[in-house]
Structure 1
Amino acid sequence: MTAASNQIKSTLWEKNQEYPLTAESLRKLIEHRIPLIRIKDFATPEECEKLYAQSQSLVFNAYEDVTPKIEKVGITVFEYNSVSKANYFQEVERASKLRDSIFAASFNPLERIMEKFRECGAKVRIASEPEYGSYYAGLIRKIENGTQLHIDFAPLEQSGWEVCTITTQLSWTLYLKLSDNDSGKTCIYDRRWTPEDEQYKLDSYGYSDTVIADKDAIAFQPYVGDVLLFNTSNFHYVEPMNGQRVAFTSMIGLLPNGEIIFWS
């Protein structure tokens, strides 16, 4: 896999069209040529229910300085960026053991998605630091009150970490539990972040709607068992959910050498 040239402009998306995961669609997503990939029936309803059930005995922690409230099980680089890299890696072993115990009682979606990428010809691994070892990857997350308009892009947010050397950032999300309604969509804009957009930053992560004025967008509905992938340097937000919206997720990055790394 190679990153798109800086000369490639974001194209006008084909609205209401979803793409399966193939080597070609993955390349197009990395190059900002398509808005999203949906892997239908990535997990069975029974697998999702088991993973969800395992999470119900755990304590979900809310992100600090993030409104509306977002809760999760697991740790993120985002949280430790203003603390220290050392503190993050001190927590990796504990968080990974908890995650693996959940997998043992249900199934391992992280290894399954990495294998899907390998089937597309990608070389994949968990992100790592020479002095510390592997990152943590895999959150069980509740986004039920929606989010602000934002982007996720490690080169902007995680200076000095391996993940800041990526050229493209994606996310993947497996939906485990959803209330029976049509709310909770994710809206993605055909508008990539640029350094000049920092003037529109509102708080720890949100941006003013000014940055997406007159831009095309696509909104996708989550379904239990499906995985959605999109390019997180495009501005996006999640609508409030009228009920439960529980998912398993992590970040994905393309390194200059063509490797793809996973982390949270």
Structure 2
Amino acid sequence: MATLEAIDENRLRADHSLNSLHSLPLPADICPQQWSSLSTGRFSEDSIQDLFLNRIPDVCESGFLTVSECQRLVDIIKTHEIGSYPIADIWPPVGTVGIAFNHVEDKGSYFSSVREAQSLQDRFRTEAGIDVLGRVCQKLREICAVPVRIAREGDIEYFAGLLRLVNRAAKLHADYGPFDAPGWEIGQISAQLTWNILLKDVDGGECIVHHRPWQGVTDDSFKNPPPDYGYSRHIVADRQSKSMKYKVGDLHLFNSR
């Protein structure tokens, strides 16, 4: 999981996929019966707050990266070593650059791998002059007026900036720190967003989000048998959904729970 935190000062994917964690004092289980609108929200403080509270399906900042910038990043990716999740955990295979906390044996293994996992982000900055993470952090600071930083476990930073290469389609799934990572610092969050930037125009490219918050282990009866990591479509039956068609360079956010 790639993590950033936005902290209230009063409390002190080819698909390029990044997750954002929010630690403002928001109720974790707020769930309106329906989204107030199916329209894509503009990038603003109110729309980000509505997204955290699951009142709207998505928020988008068009042209966050230029087409030229995306091509420069793609050119670098083509010369970079691409890994994948363990086949025992994820099928069909998904190419990755970076690490996710739930695909390592323990915290020590995870945090000792962070520096090496940052190699692609380092190349983006040095070879293309593009700091994707820095730009996203700065955008959130400007819009939400709160400090934004990479999440930490004590004084040690998590990895941020996961790249995924999805050959066909990702399965129906959810991400939410308290259920994914109990016992980790990121398990103490109260709400979570995922943000994606599509770097290369491809057939398809949609992301579908459903108005059906994940309930953790109580939803295990809907899980497909391993190595299929996804959930049965029955879990989202009769729920609102939205298909988000990505354009190259757009910054797109949705509630990943």
Of 94, 105, 119 in structure 1, the residue corresponding to residue 142 of structure 2 is 119
Is the CA contact (8 Å cut-off) linking 1:148 and 1:207 kept in structure 2? Answer: yes
2: CA distance, partners of 1:184 / 1:43 = 17
Structure 1 length-normalised TM: 0.81
| Counterpart residue number, 2:169 | 146
| Counterpart residue number, 1:136 | 159
The aligned runs of 1:1-264 (5 Å cut-off) are 2-5=24-27, 8-13=30-35, 16-64=38-86, 65-80=89-104, 83-106=105-128, 107-120=130-143, 121-130=145-154, 133-179=156-202, 181=203, 183-195=204-216, 196-202=218-224, 203=226, 205-233=229-257
Deviations 1:53-103 (A, max 9, x none): 1111112111112122211111111211xx111011111112224421232
Is the CA contact (8 Å cut-off) linking 2:28 and 2:190 kept in structure 1? Answer: no
Aligned length: 228
Deviation at residue 200 of structure 1 after TM alignment: 1.5
| Counterpart residue number, 2:15 | none
Structure 2 length-normalised TM: 0.83
| Paired residue secondary structure (2:109) | helix
1: CA distance, partners of 2:107 / 2:28 = 30
Letter in 2 for 1:75: I
1: CA distance, partners of 2:223 / 2:165 = 24
| Counterpart residue number, 1:252 | none
Deviation at residue 155 of structure 1 after TM alignment: 1.2
Deviation at residue 10 of structure 1 after TM alignment: 2.3
Letter in 1 for 2:249: G
1: CA distance, partners of 2:242 / 2:25 = 23
Q: Unpaired segments of 5 or more residues in structure 2?
A: 1-7, 9-23
2: CA distance, partners of 1:133 / 1:76 = 15
Deviation at residue 12 of structure 1 after TM alignment: 2.1
Deviation at residue 33 of structure 1 after TM alignment: 0.4
Say which structure, 1 or 2, has more relative contact order (CA 8 Å, 6+ apart). Answer: 2
Deviation at residue 122 of structure 1 after TM alignment: 2.6
